[in-house]
Amino acid sequence: IDTTAYNRPSWRQPIYQPEVYGPAIVFSRVSLNFITPYDSVSLQNTQGTYAMRDKLFVGQGGRFDWRSAGLSPDSVYYELDKYNFKTTQPVFKAEQGKLLYKGRLPGFTPGVLEFRSTSHRTPQAASFPRFRSYETDIKVMGIGDEHLKYTGGFGLNGPGMTSQSVSASQAMLELWGESDKRFRVVAASFGFKDSTISANSAKVTLYQENDSIYHPSVNFRYDRGRERVIITKDQSALRNAPFNSSFLSMDFSADQIQWDLKADSLGITTIGAGNIAPMVIESTDFYNP
């Protein structure tokens, strides 16, 4: 028994297309235009068969770009393998293909393409086309220097870059100083912008000399240009969980932490009525003065 196919990753498995029945039109080369009140996009230089009875297009090959989301069609595009979709709605999905994003990815990256025409006021506000990588060890370029280490997938929601992969695996971001680690963040999704990296409901550990501060679920934002970290409460079930300081062996409550990485201290804030709120500190050694 040939088990070769079973040992291949999912994006290299054989693709089985639906059968075409009844009258059909065969296109040896065609560009498909999707025009709605919100979008005008094109799947270029593809080939396939249109099943007139089932209103189904079964195709192979072609290129789909992100110009509808304001990105250059020469710099960001997806090359399709086999695919199919119903022509009654401006929606389609390609399970196998590769994305090229010049300046961000080192080469073609296997993943899933999804397009759905939805309302958006500007190209920059578009949430489609979407891409999710199959691999979770993508080298994303242009998000930092050699001190910033990222491990995770790569995704696009319209023009917005994320860490999302097909497997929905968590991604990790670490910043190193000259000789020690500064922070470690683990999250289901990171958002990458020109000068900032953010994540919601993230596990965050801050390192400062012999101490570390940890929280299991907070909102995280790192401003690379200003070298500043801002941590705020999220909306998860763990939002009221305390921070833990390993060196001082204590837990403490906080609504926000701001850390200038060039400074030797950080700011801890609690917010309450009248801008006055108590900070609760609990020692794990049960210190009693």
For residue 262, CA distances in Å to 171, 198, 208, 258, 268 come to 26, 20, 11, 12, 16
Q: 170-289 domain in CATH 2.60.450?
A: yes
The overall pTM is greater than 0.75: yes
Find the length of the chain: 289
Q: Where are the domains of the chain?
A: 1-127, 170-289
Backbone angles phi, psi at 34, to 5 degrees: -110, 110
pLDDT at 279 (0 to 100) = 61
Mean predicted confidence (pLDDT) in 217-225: 96
81 - beta bridge partners? none
What's the pLDDT tens digit per position in 181-214?
Answer: 999 999 999 999 989 999 999 999 999 878 899 9
DSSP secondary structure code for residue 235 in this structure: S
What's the pLDDT tens digit per position in 25-47?
Answer: 999 999 999 999 888 899 999 99
